[in-house]
Chain A
Amino acid sequence: AQSVTQLDSQVPVFEEAPVELRCNYSSSVSVYLFWYVQYPNQGLQLLLKYLSGSTLVKGINGFEAEFNKSQTSFHLRKPSVHISDTAEYFCAVSFSSNTGKLIFGQGTTLQVKP
């Protein structure tokens, strides 16, 4: 069965520090990988996605993620966070031969402190 695990439910970090949000998935077929961000009381917005090709993917707001097939991971990173990055971050997978169904991880709350 396919699943997504976000290893940290909360990540507190000081402003301008680097951050990594971890995501692992389980699948026996090819996957597409996504990171979405949810700001308080808003819908989800796509940060970045991995479809194929280069394993390092750059997204909006200075975020990037690296796909590691052998470790079935897709960790999200930012070298220097801002207060405005405080939000809920969701890793999601879609499978190459399905109906577009997204399976989400449990979410990671990023708390950026001044």
Chain B
Amino acid sequence: DTAVSQTPKYLVTQMGNDKSIKCEQNLGHDTMYWYKQDSKKFLKIMFSYNNKELIINETVPNRFSPKSPDKAHLNLHINSLELGDSAVYFCASSLQQGAGYNEQFFGPGTRLTVL
């Protein structure tokens, strides 16, 4: 009965490869997010989608492309992976867009290691 799930949990790959991380939520939420947690544990938002529409797009390299096939799924595709992309990527969801008071529910994270 996992609320927000991510696959894979671990991802080890070579520089220059392309990889995807998948996220699914079964909470019926409208809004989903991608966060990046760096080696110092600092968390920063990357993207947010509301009901399949992109609403937040932070200053992220365009090698990162989110895709939302439906409001329960938000995937992250990364092209031409670089060493600096190594991090833990968290997916999250919340009830409605624009409501800053809503709790965000986080997935377990995907640890990406680029060699």
Binding site for B on A (CB under 8 A): 32, 34, 36, 38, 41-46, 49, 51, 88, 90, 94-104, 106-107
Contacts and interface: CB of A to CB of B under 8 A. Distances in A.
A44 B50 CA distance: 21
Given A34-B103, A43-B4, A100 B97 contact: yes
Interface in B41-70: 41-45, 48, 50, 55-56
B113 interface: no
Nearest to A107: B41
B90 A43 contact: yes
A49 B106 contact: no
Interface string B1-22: 0001000000000000000000
Interface residues of B, number: 30
B98 A99 contact: yes
Nearest to B40: A106
B69 to A, nearest CB: 21
Given A90-B43, A107-B42, A100 B108 contact: no
Interface string B93-105: 0101111111111
27 contacts: A42-B109, A43-B90, A44-B92, A44-B106, A45-B106, A46-B104, A49-B101, A51-B101, A94-B100, A94-B101, A96-B100, A96-B101, A98-B98, A98-B100, A99-B48, A99-B98, A99-B100, A100-B33, A100-B94, A100-B96, A100-B97, A100-B98, A100-B99, A100-B100, A101-B48, A102-B45, A107-B43
